[in-house]
Amino acid sequence: MFGTLWYVSLAFTPWLISRAIDRGLAPRDPGALAGWTAVVLVVGVSSAGLGIMRHRSMTKLRLAAALRTAEAVMTHATRLGAALPRRVTSGEVVTIGIADVWTIGRAMNVGGVGVASVLAYLTVAILLFRTSPLLAVVVLAGVPVLGLVLAPLLGRVQAAAARYRKRQGELAAQLVDVLGGLRILNGLGGKEGHLTAFRRSSAELRELGYRVGRSSSWVGALGDGLPGIFLGVVVWLAARQAAAGELTAGELVAVYGYTAMLTIPVNVLIFCGFDITRGLVAARHVIAFLALPPEPAGGEPGPAGPAPLHDPASGVVAEPGRLTALAGARPADAAAVLERLGRYGPTDATWGGVRLDSISRDEVRARILVAEHDADLFAGSLLDVVTGAAPRGGFDPAIAAAAARDVGAPDHPVEWGGRNLSGGQRQRVRLARAFHQEAETLLLPEPTSALDAHTEAAIAGRLPAARAGRATVVATTSPALLDRADVVHYLVDGRVAASGTHRELLGAAPGYRRLVARVFGEEEDR
């Protein structure tokens, strides 16, 4: 509305000036000249206000479209949950959130200034028709001609932008992976190799960007130049008609004003086509992401009370109220068991005799918590990071159970990802967060892998009390934790080879004894 009214005010201004010339200036009528001049002043002031409101509403539309798209993406990412990393790369999500949503927001201008430009174009054509049908026909035919000239270029821009956008997502994924594993690369000495590969990929992306830029620059040049040539033809025709006496002086001035004003909507229409071209590329990626099917949330209710979890693939059973440990030479085997027991992938595990994947996902998430040792930490005070939106009464016991009092007071600031904490502090904060949830069943993969032996022993001593009466499953090869477990399942090739207490297995399972002795020896060496 504001865009249309602004353009119409611009379009009528030349007509008002022509009235002032033909009815006031030419016949030397001061009263008429003053009246028409006053009308031009009022329209000019109104045009200024409408221009401000047009820009404000256009900016609001862009931001609203971008942020609503980002909200839809984030909401769907939340629905996908743990399935997200298996469906799409982190770099693709980053590129969607940083680049695509804003490109889509800009393309939404077509619904505002684009429509207003079309209406302004038609308004000027009508005013010109009242002045000269020939000029009106030239103006009406001009934009389709410009469209035919620019359409191939816009097609090339879209094709190049699609290739650039795909490579951009791949490079962002590569960057996220490298940054996520930077500490490991520092230790292994692989930074230079990854840096070389990233530079090569970045150079390839830059070349693609140049191709997009070349096509875009032609669109920009023709978008600025062609309307000027086209409108120059209109002015030349009008001048010839004025010289032949077919147009008055005021009408000639009006035609010049119309043509000068038309450069704005014509230029806007050209760049709207450019924005649509880039917006379609971005929208396809967003739609592809939103089309990823989430894990079904519905299902039957879970057990009425605490019930055992059973993983037939491995033979692991986690009983309510007991601390169960999983130990194996390959940590991936124990992690796979926890993934199935937590329903974070295909599973035939049962909960109280009922298949876990047939139970409502929300109920599974509410009662069974998988607390990854490298899970993300959000920025905020230590109290906020540990308790989140849950009641905060259990903060102190959770911190004590995780041996995390040295991290700081409740108001101690924690940066995103725990960047201002050491590796051991981050792991203990994650463990305190898991304890604070007081989940009916808690699954902990390698919860003390980054801790020294003294801290690990302290946590092992406090774990049974912190989880008293609730089921806890720990994947670990730490003797301190294994010794506290009610039952230890010794895994070989992903299957339970022996079960019992830690001390029973030391005497009855030579493979388990060698596993624990090797780990214990490595800890002693450190």
Give the tens place of pLDDT for each residue, 78-105: 888 767 777 777 777 878 887 888 889 8
| pLDDT band per the 50, 70, 90 thresholds, residue 525 | very low
Which residues on adjacent β-strands are paired with residue 444?
A: 474
Q: What's the CA gap between 174 and 349, in Å, rounded?
A: 35
Which residues on adjacent β-strands are paired with residue 471?
A: 441
- Other beta carbons within 10 angstroms of residue 251's beta carbon come to 23
Q: What is the mean pLDDT of the chain?
A: 84
Under 8 Å between Cβ of 439 and 467: no
pLDDT at 264 over 60: yes
Q: What's the CA gap between 7 and 24, in Å, rounded?
A: 25
pLDDT (0 to 100) of residue 77: 85
Q: Is residue 268 packed enough to be buried (19+ CB in 10 Å), middle (13-18) or exposed (0-12)?
A: buried
pLDDT (0 to 100) of residue 466: 93
Distance of CA 162 to the CA centre of its chain: 18
Give the tens place of pLDDT for each residue, 342-391: 988 789 999 999 999 899 888 998 899 999 877 888 899 999 999 986 66
| pLDDT band per the 50, 70, 90 thresholds, residue 519 | low
pLDDT at 156 over 80: no
Give the tens place of pLDDT for each residue, 15-29: 888 888 888 888 889
Give the tens place of pLDDT for each residue, 448-506: 988 888 999 999 999 999 999 999 999 999 999 999 999 999 999 999 999 999 999 99
Give the tens place of pLDDT for each residue, 46-62: 999 998 998 898 888 88
Tokens 């693609």 correspond to 208
Mean pLDDT of 265-276: 79
Give the tens place of pLDDT for each residue, 229-249: 777 887 888 888 888 888 888
